[in-house]
Amino acid sequence: MNAIELRDVTLALGGRTILANISLDIPAGQFIGVLGPNGSGKTTLMRAILGLLAPKSGTLRVLGEPATRGNPKIGYRPQTAGNMTTLQISGWDFVASVADGYRLGLPILSPAARAEVQQALARVGAEKLAPRPLGELSGGERQRLLLAQALIGDPKLLLLDEPLISLDPRRQGEVVELVKKLQHEFAITVLFSAHELNPLLNAIDQVLYLGSGQAALGPVAEVITPPVLSKLYGSPIDVIQVQGRIFVMSGSHDVEADAHRHEHGHAHGHSHDDHTHAHAREESSHV
């Protein structure tokens, strides 16, 4: 069975085509690394899978059904979720806030929902983080809680939008390993977006690389090649392998590292605000 099927799907935002006529099948149970330059449509694709953005044309099926908003079988970790440094709520309340029956200020959970929160915390090894305020936790600890939150409802598909941003390489490795474990233990399909391929290399079954409105899905050896990437970037790309790491180069620039730097600049600059507002605008047009 396929977890996700796209047939001639075109996704557009504000009259702009982001992805054009994409057809692909993502088999159930696979770990897919979603890569591509800034603005290539990684988040937009996830939002379409969540049913938050209807394709302009084509059909998009998720877990055997047309994409629909609020699909409980999907766990989502949005990109903006990393910014929680000022939050005073506890780890428990943060995870519980997405469980059935919880309202901020009125945390009345059924015993079953409480058990589900406890189980989600246990699955990511975050029981000890439950009583601590979010603002006090390290980036890696917060990622664990975000994953626990995404696991509420026992999803069959996890959409994780850039969970490695602002983590050091060791913490990045821990997050990837944890997601890999969850994929295997619970037979979950994972879409994991990132700016750099290397932290994901040993974990992913396939890579989905986006660029220039197009997409390439396949094993790393088939997608991370000069011809495929040159087409997606719209300029000549070299692929260099050094000691088990892969570098995607445009002339002397490492394009993935450039995108990463840009993203860090983003977090403090105007462009990030614009980006966030663009999303908020787009979102509000659906509510």
Ligand X SMILES: Nc1ncnc2c1ncn2[C@@H]1O[C@H](COP(=O)(O)OP(=O)(O)OP(=O)(O)O)[C@@H](O)[C@H]1O
CA 164 to chain centre: 10
User: What is the 8-class DSSP label of residue 31?
Assistant: E
Return the structure tokens found at 187: 């037979």
Q: Which of 175, 191, 166 is nearest to 272 (CA)?
A: 166
Q: Which of 211, 212, 233, 209 is nearest to 221 (CA)?
A: 209
Which of these segments, 38-46, 84-92, 116-124, 248-256, binds ligand X (CB under 6 A)? 38-46
Does residue number 164 form part of the binding site for ligand X (CB under 6 A)? no
- CA dihedral sign, ordered 173, 156, 194, 120: negative
Does residue number 277 form part of the binding site for ligand X (CB under 6 A)? no
Q: Rounded to the nearest whole angstrom, what is the least distance from the CB of residue 265 to ligand X in the complex?
A: 11
User: What is the 8-class DSSP label of residue 136?
Assistant: G
Q: Rounded to the nearest whole angstrom, what is the least distance from the CB of residue 232 to ligand X in the complex?
A: 12
**Whether 48 contacts 15, CB under 8 Å:** no
Return the structure tokens found at 195: 């700016």
**Whether 37 contacts 211, CB under 8 Å:** yes
Q: How many Å is the Cα radius of gyration of the chain?
A: 19
Position with the least CB separation from ligand X: 14
Out of 41, 155, 211, 213, name the contact with ligand X by CB under 6 A. 41
Question: With respect to ligand X, which residue has the nearer C-beta, 36 or 55?
Answer: 36
Separation CA 117–CA 123 (nearest Å): 10
Does residue number 39 form part of the binding site for ligand X (CB under 6 A)? yes
Question: With respect to ligand X, which residue has the nearer C-beta, 99 or 215?
Answer: 215
Separation CA 200–CA 171 (nearest Å): 13
**Whether 141 contacts 69, CB under 8 Å:** no
Site residues (CB under 6 A) for ligand X, limited to 72-131: 79
Does residue number 43 form part of the binding site for ligand X (CB under 6 A)? yes
Separation CA 160–CA 155 (nearest Å): 12
Q: Rounded to the nearest whole angstrom, what is the least distance from the CB of residue 183 to ligand X in the complex?
A: 22
Does residue number 270 form part of the binding site for ligand X (CB under 6 A)? no
Question: With respect to ligand X, which residue has the nearer C-beta, 39 or 218?
Answer: 39
Site residues (CB under 6 A) for ligand X, limited to 7-36: 13-14, 16, 18, 36
Question: With respect to ligand X, which residue has the nearer C-beta, 154 or 274?
Answer: 274
Q: Rounded to the nearest whole angstrom, what is the least distance from the CB of residue 275 to ligand X in the complex?
A: 6
Q: Rounded to the nearest whole angstrom, what is the least distance from the CB of residue 212 to ligand X in the complex?
A: 12
Out of 22, 31, 42, 146, name the contact with ligand X by CB under 6 A. 42
Question: With respect to ligand X, which residue has the nearer C-beta, 41 or 139?
Answer: 41
Q: Rounded to the nearest whole angstrom, what is the least distance from the CB of residue 147 to ligand X in the complex?
A: 19
Separation CA 223–CA 197 (nearest Å): 12
Q: Quick one: which H or E segment has residue 189?
A: strand 189-193
Out of 184, 245, 281, 286, name the contact with ligand X by CB under 6 A. 281
- Contact positions toward ligand X, by CB under 6 A? 13-14, 16, 18, 36, 38-44, 79, 278-279, 281-282
